[in-house]
Structure formats: structure tokens, C-alpha cells
Chains A and B, each alone.
Chain A
Amino acid sequence: EIVMTQSPATLSVSPGERATLSCRASQGLSSNLAWYQQKPGQAPRLLIYGASTRATGIPARFSGSGSGTEFTLTISSLQSEDFAVYYCQQYNNWPPLTFGGGTKVEIK
């Protein structure tokens, strides 16, 4: 099973600032990685797939990069609606599909 590790666990950022979230895989994934946003009481929302392709309707301030074992989600200028928990998910080697433990982006 591929283990996904996200860092940091919590990121405190001021509105308008850039946020950089990391995700590391225990084995190489090529580009088979997705990112999700989850707000309290809501289902996750797909942001990025293929490591860098934005899903339909996702604003350009969200960008993904990386390949192999190291990936990054960047939010270029945080808006109030972006404060949430973010998860990465690998789909290179399954079953099982696996998720990281999440990064909570909170208001500084």
C-alpha cells in the first residue's frame, strides 16, 4: 500500500498570501495524484488531477506541480473561501487508493 504524507498538518496564512502545501508518496506515482478541498460538514471537492490539471470550474489561483514522490499544491492568493482542509490522493497503484492525512489551512 502506498502511504501518503502531507505537510504541514496546519498552515496559518493571511488572506491574500500564498499557501504552499506538500504531499509525499512512499513510492513513485508518476503524475497520478489528485488534490481535494474539504470544508466542515461538506464532501470533498476535486481541485487537481494528473498532478497539475485543474478540475472543471476550479479557479486559476489553484495550481499543482510535481511528479514521482513529491507534489505541491499552491494557492496563489488566499481568499476567505479557501480556508479548509486539503487532501492529496494517489491512484497510481491500487487497490487501495490512498489519501494523505490532510493539511488544514487556517486564517492567520
Chain B
Amino acid sequence: QVQLVQSGAEVKKPGASVKVSCQASGYTFSRYSMHWVRQAPGQRLEWMGWINGGNGNTKYSQKFQGRVTITRDTSASTAYMELSSLTSEDTAVYYCARDLGQRFSFDYWGQGTLVTVSS
């Protein structure tokens, strides 16, 4: 069965960076793209970016351009999302989510990683 397992909660100071991992199992990692979506407390879901599982191409939301980097390690079936220059507004649960076969909707989700930014 498909599973996406994310790394654990993080507490960061303003200005720092955070890197969240998402290990996939139960399917051929390189055949599916992966997205990253975040949800701040009480807020709507917010798409951050996407990585093509096969060729590693990426696209990012302009809101995060320059601050977010999404990478993957196909040998480890793991995707990563790194967000830099953190502020309190980046406090949120971060999810990885598998693409539904080039349909750009999300059929499997990780359990979420809470990132808290606080001085």
C-alpha cells in the first residue's frame, strides 16, 4: 500500500531554514510527481511547489519563489522541501502529497510535519 512518511516536528528561530523529508513506499517513486502543501493554523491549504519524480523538474508558487527548494533522492524514494528565511507566518503543518498521475490533484498524503517558528 502507498505510504508517505514525513520527518518529525521542528522548532526554528526566525531567519533559520527547515528541511522536511517525505519517504515514499508502496509504489515506484520515479513514476509519480510529488507536491508540497502547507496549512497554517485555521487557514486554507496552500500549495508550495511540485517536483517531477522522473526528471526532477520543479515548479514553485511565486509566493515562495526564492525561499523554497524541493528536491528528491530516487535511490531513497524520498522527497525534500527546504524553506529558508523563516518567519512566524511560516508556522504551519507541511504536507507532502503524491500527484494523481499528472492530474495535479493529490491522491496520497503524508501525515504532516508541524514547523513552529518562534524566537
**Docked pose: A56 CA to B101 CA in angstroms:** 13
On whether the beta carbons of A97 and B104 are closer than 8 Å, the reply is: yes
Residues of chain A in range 8-51 having any CB-CB distance to chain B below 8 Å? 32, 34, 36, 43-46, 49-50
> Could you say which interface size class chain B belongs to?
20 to 34
Q: B105 interface residue, CB < 8 Å from A?
A: yes
Asked if B106 contacts A95 (CB within 8 A), the reply is no
For chain A, the count of residues having a C-beta within 8 Å of the partner chain is 23
List the count of A-B residue pairs having beta carbons below 8 Å apart.
63
Q: Which residues of B contact A (CB under 8 A)?
A: 35, 44-47, 49-50, 59-63, 95, 97, 100, 103-107, 109-112
A-B CB proximity, top 3 nearest: A91-B104, A43-B109, A34-B105
> Apart from A34-B106, A55-B100, what 15 extra A-B contacts exist at CB < 8 Å?
A32-B104, A34-B103, A43-B109, A44-B45, A46-B105, A46-B106, A49-B100, A89-B45, A95-B47, A95-B50, A95-B62, A96-B62, A97-B50, A99-B44, A99-B46
